[in-house]
Amino acid sequence: MAAGRSIFANLLATRPASFVESLLFETKHSAAFMDKFPLVAGHTLVISKRCVLGIHELSDEEAADFGVAVARASRAVRAATGRDAYNLAAHIGEEAGQEVMHLHVHVVPRTAGDFGSCRGLFGMRRHRCSELAPQPAPLPDGAFVGDVAELRDALRAGSAATVRAGPGAPAEAATGSPP
């Protein structure tokens, strides 16, 4: 179990306006929201609601819910950004590079050449590569407007429209949670 209370646990507990603005959807055991410091537009985080270090600490029910939430967020990112390629990344444990000791997966839409010849994805936050495409500005602390609000709305719409109960099943309502 992760020691103390993480920033993600604090966001879930206190629900500041900036978090509510970036929130895409919640399920019984997970939540997805726009990354405050995106690598590219559409960069999304999926977190477990229970503060644990890694997926191995979740119950089977929580892990299944988390997996469905990652899939739902991935579909939303593809739909909202129009990009077919994306990275899923999770670092579990300090030795693996985990900085926030709370289970989370990054969903990062990609395009050819967006990171130049730089290898790796998340080390770039600390060790900027000169070949990187310009990164979006951090998300605002207040109400989202303009392009950021449009992207958030597209991500929300994509996450609601792409959830399926199974092959060929109808999409769930925006407030519905995966089975």
Catalytic residue among 91, 104, 106, 127: 104
Known catalytic membership, residue 127: no
Place of tokens 């604090």: 10
Place of tokens 């879930």: 12
User: Own/partner pairs for 66-69, CB < 8 Å, 24+ apart?
Assistant: 66/29, 66/30, 66/103, 68/27, 68/30, 68/178, 68/179, 69/25, 69/27, 69/29, 69/30, 69/31, 69/32, 69/178
Beta bridge partners of 106: 45, 89
CB 19 within 8 A of CB 33: yes
The DSSP output letter for 147 is H
Euclidean distance between CA atoms 18 and 21, whole angstroms? 5
Give the active site residues: 104
